[in-house]
Amino acid sequence: MSSEVVDFLNREVSAAGAKLMEVEAGDAPVVVEAAAIKDVCFALRDSSELSFEALQVISGVDYDESIEVNYMLASFSKNKEVIIKVILPKDSKDAVPEIESVCDVWKAADFQERETYDMLGVKFNNHPDLRRILCPDDWEGYPLRKDYEVQDTYLDMEVNPAHKINQGDFDFMTKAKLDSSEPKKITGSWKGHVSTEVADALKRKMDSLKSAKSE
Amino acid sequence: MEFVNESQEKIKSDLLTVNMGPQHPATHGVLRVEIKTDSEIVSEAIPHIGYLHRCMEKHSENLDYRGVIPFTDRMDYLAAMSMEWGYSLAVEKMLGTEVPERAEYLRVIIGELQRIASHLLFYGVYAIDLGAFSPFLYAFQDREEILRLFEEISGARLLYNYIWIGGVWNDVDDDQLRRISKFCDKMEENMKKYHSLVGMNKIFRERTANVGVVNEKMAYQYGATGAVLRGSGVKWDLRKDRTYGIYDKFDFDVPVGTGEMGTLGDCWDRYDVRVREVFESIKIIRQALEGIEAGPIMGKVSKIIKPPKGEIYMRTECPRGELGYHLVSDGKAKPYRLKVKSSCFTHVSMLGELGKGQMIADFVATIGSIDIVLGEVDR
Amino acid sequence: MSAQKEITFATDDELTFGKWLNNIWVGLSTVLKGMGITFKYIYNVKPVTIEYPEVREELPANSRSRLFNDAENCISCYQCATACPVDCIYITAKRREMDAPALKTSDGTAIKLDLLQYTIDTALCCYCGLCTTVCPTECLTHTTDYEFAQYTLDEMKYDYLATDIRAWRERIVK
């Protein structure tokens, strides 16, 4: 199915540069040039042999050096589906890549592009109303990026305050190690989120034990 | 806008902004629709969503493949089995796992029962939206029986975690299968009764016919699926057209809107499609109950699930429309990315265009007829 | 009102006398049909609800409700904590001394670690049942208790090494 789309795109849209992506499992997406995305979508929608009437979903995937935007298209009359993939290079961590909006092609793209903008920080040019959709308007950062860190405060409210999470239980193993004469015998299911002073105290204790042993 | 009153004076009117929701009972959850009204007529409707946003997609990036299933339950909490099924199918297709025959049959039976339960809820709640209270109680009486059965089978009433990667969690005994068959007989009778109680009622017809018309072109433009697409007269059902599981073994029809009471694609058509789908589901369950045989319920799945590198887009037909999972795997024990295509999200985006020019009361009927669950919209 | 659609009402069609009569007939007949169905529910209908505090429902045997860990059979394998999707299980254990008397669970598995902490925050728990299915000694189980409302969040945290919670064992473990 996907190879048929590749042939069609290379024939119809000169700037598409479509090629099939190799995958070990699952569906093989069709990679196209970012600049040609709107022409590609118009061609796929209006062609009589493929007629992809509907845009199912736009799904962004964040990688280290790029953000991929996937357009899942479906044809009801021809019973076909295809994944069109666009790879947008990302220069730095906070960079917001840009791509042309396909709202003119399918109205479904309106909400889908807003979601991709909200979650992954991809700017869709010429979108009629590009606002955040799921997060509040004044939220910082793009949650689905791999390097996302949640903000400390939101509207003067502390995000994840210590008394709301089970800090005592997180610290239990570290404290038990502090109290014990043989801290190495104690293990636990929980790692991380330990309060800094307890963690530091344990580190000092382990260092002193090590030095005592070497002496 | 300018009017001329009785004494020939010019008066100017402005649009009034009304916030419908997020706590409005007719918005089916925490949906807020910002309505600019011109007296009783909606001149602009802007849906605002995100009140139930939990970012399940980010959560699933930090969980192993089995741990995602409880999170998928919580998207569409009224059809949790269908949510699990779609996810399990996506992972199974990546892994190339064979699902045993009995598990496939059980999935079909449970999935169709879930569809009936979900449509019953739609039927009851839609009647409430339009001012009829008792159908809600009838619908819940029958839905309760399904939920009780699910509780015995899976251990939970609403969020099941029953369909696992490679099969199903728990077996169903013969007694329960007999009860399902008995329930189907009863449900068929009842649904006919309920349909004549509400669907044929003159008041209900006046409220829904010619209201909120989604024509075929608009359905395609917005990527509508499920009962909304079928209500517009498009014969499209993934169970039939892109068969998954063992749906190819069963004989059933795909109900489409007829435009019998008004225009094709109006609220009544969408209601009608859902009611007729209940009968089709009963037909499927009966065939599945005949075909089911004893056997294992869990396929061979390794303890730590690691699909090969690649990506997949798996679509399944849920009670509310098509559910798609875009799963990207990097060969590790956690999904690299899991994007959920929710049909309710797509349908909410139609509200802006559907609402324009409607009366406020008709707008309520329109929201009810597209049957959204905000847990799935916001994920 | 510039970009608005023309609103058409169903009543805008020309209303003839025949149509008017037909409307009344359809309205009356369908409403009466519906009322007929409703009236059938007046007599001989079994109540579907139960009067809760007086009558308590027995949940099905494999119902997934309150968690119970039988600490005497626990071998501190951490599998439940690893499987938990919401990370609400906290376990700490200490390796047993070499010369300490050998302990065994009821199914014969040797216990090599002493539990120091076994806490489940049931306020976070999502009752998915993943922890109970991985438990090798089947000491962690879902019970069918469903009444465990509390006044404060802290009371929702169950320390399964505390004596009052260990006392449930007599009722639950058979």
CB C93 within 8 A of CB A186: yes
If we measure between CA atoms, which residue out of B369, B350, B363, B316 comes closest to residue B122?
B369
Interface membership of C32 toward B (CB under 8 Å) = no
Give yes or no for residue C81 having a pLDDT over 50. yes
% residues pLDDT > 70 (chain B):
99
Task: Express each pLDDT in C4-21 by its tens digit.
Answer: 444 444 455 677 888 888
Cα A132 to Cα A119: distance, rounded to the nearest angstrom? 8
Query: Three-class SS string for A91-129?
Result: CCCCCCCEEECCCCCCCCHHHHHHHHHHHHCCEEECCCC
Across the interface, whether the CB atoms of C92 and A189 are under 8 A apart is answered yes
Cα B301 to Cα B342: distance, rounded to the nearest angstrom? 28
Enumerate domains of chain B plus CATH numbers: 55-339 (1.10.645.10)
Cα B272 to Cα B342: distance, rounded to the nearest angstrom? 22
If we measure between CA atoms, which residue out of C148, C145, C151, C141 comes closest to residue C68?
C141
pLDDT band for position A79 (cuts 50, 70, 90)? confident
DSSP states of B79-93: SHHHHHHHHHHHHHH
What does DSSP assign to residue C97? P
Q: How high is the pLDDT of residue A65?
A: 86
Across the interface, whether the CB atoms of A108 and B336 are under 8 A apart is answered no
Residue of C nearest to B358 (CA): C7
Residue C104: which residues within 8 A CB-CB, separation 6 or more? C110, C111
Name the residue facing A172 among C76, C81, C117 (closest C-beta): C117
C59 contacts on B by Cβ (under 8 Å): 151
Across the interface, whether the CB atoms of B57 and A79 are under 8 A apart is answered no
Across the interface, whether the CB atoms of B55 and A57 are under 8 A apart is answered no
The structural domains of chain C, with segments of one domain joined by +, span 67-172
What does DSSP assign to residue B359? B
Cα B95 to Cα A23: distance, rounded to the nearest angstrom? 13
Name the residue facing B94 among A25, A57, A74 (closest C-beta): A25
CATH 3.90.1150.10 fits C67-172, yes or no: no
Task: Express each pLDDT in A11-22 by its tens digit.
Answer: 777 777 777 777
CB B80 within 8 A of CB B160: yes
Amino acid at C32: L
* B168 half-sphere exposure, CB direction, 13 A CA radius: 27
Rounded to 5 degrees, what are φ and ψ at B47?
-75, 135
Q: How high is the pLDDT of residue B1?
A: 64
C positions 51-90 inside 8 Å of B (CB): 59-60, 62-64, 83-85
pLDDT band for position A143 (cuts 50, 70, 90)? confident
Interface membership of C22 toward B (CB under 8 Å) = no
Interface membership of C50 toward B (CB under 8 Å) = no
Name the residue facing A189 among C81, C94, C121 (closest C-beta): C81
Q: How high is the pLDDT of residue C102?
A: 75
Rounded to 5 degrees, what are φ and ψ at B223?
65, 35
Cα A123 to Cα B353: distance, rounded to the nearest angstrom? 24
Across the interface, whether the CB atoms of B57 and A144 are under 8 A apart is answered yes
Tokens found for residue B77: 């909490």
Mean pLDDT of B358-378: 87
CB A60 within 8 A of CB A50: no
Cα B343 to Cα A3: distance, rounded to the nearest angstrom? 28
Four-CA torsion A168, A174, A179, A185, nearest 10 degrees: 130
Q: How high is the pLDDT of residue C4?
A: 43
Q: 3-class DSSP state for residue B76?
A: coil
- Residue B149: other Cβ atoms inside 10 A: 19
Residue C148: which residues within 8 A CB-CB, separation 6 or more? C66, C122, C156
* B33 half-sphere exposure, CB direction, 13 A CA radius: 29
**Alpha-carbon gap: B134 to the closest alpha carbon of chain A (Å):** 36
pLDDT band for position C138 (cuts 50, 70, 90)? confident
**pTM (2 decimals)?**
0.88
* B364 half-sphere exposure, CB direction, 13 A CA radius: 16
Cα A49 to Cα A8: distance, rounded to the nearest angstrom? 9
Q: How high is the pLDDT of residue C5?
A: 45
Give yes or no for residue A1 having a pLDDT over 70. no
Q: In this complex, which chains have at least 3 CB pairs below 8 Å with chain A?
A: B, C
Give yes or no for residue B125 having a pLDDT over 70. yes
Cα C110 to Cα A18: distance, rounded to the nearest angstrom? 61
Cα B218 to Cα B346: distance, rounded to the nearest angstrom? 12
Task: Express each pLDDT in B34-78 by its tens digit.
Answer: 888 887 888 888 888 888 888 888 888 888 888 899 999 888 888
Helix ranges (DSSP H) in C64-166: 79-83, 130-134, 163-166
- Residue C29: other Cβ atoms inside 10 A: 12
Name the residue facing C37 among B193, B206, B262 (closest C-beta): B193
Across the interface, whether the CB atoms of B222 and A83 are under 8 A apart is answered no
Tokens found for residue B82: 């269908």
CB B184 within 8 A of CB B148: no
Which of A42, A76, A142 to mutate: most B Cβ within 10 Å?
A76
Q: How high is the pLDDT of residue C3?
A: 40
B positions 260-299 inside 8 Å of C (CB): 262
For chain B, the average pLDDT equals: 87
Cα C103 to Cα A165: distance, rounded to the nearest angstrom? 35
C77 contacts on B by Cβ (under 8 Å): none
Q: How high is the pLDDT of residue A214?
A: 75
Tokens found for residue C170: 């007599």
Which of C76, C94, C124 to mutate: most A Cβ within 10 Å?
C94
Across the interface, whether the CB atoms of B53 and A83 are under 8 A apart is answered no
Name the residue facing A29 among B57, B311, B336 (closest C-beta): B311
Helix ranges (DSSP H) in B156-249: 174-198, 202-208, 216-221, 226-231, 238-241
Mean pLDDT of B122-129: 89
pLDDT band for position C174 (cuts 50, 70, 90)? low
ipTM of the complex: 0.84
Q: Which residues pair with A100 in a beta bridge?
A: A125
Rounded to 5 degrees, what are φ and ψ at C4?
-95, 150
Task: Express each pLDDT in A166-210 by its tens digit.
Answer: 777 887 877 777 777 777 777 877 777 777 777 788 888 888 888
Q: How high is the pLDDT of residue B282?
A: 92
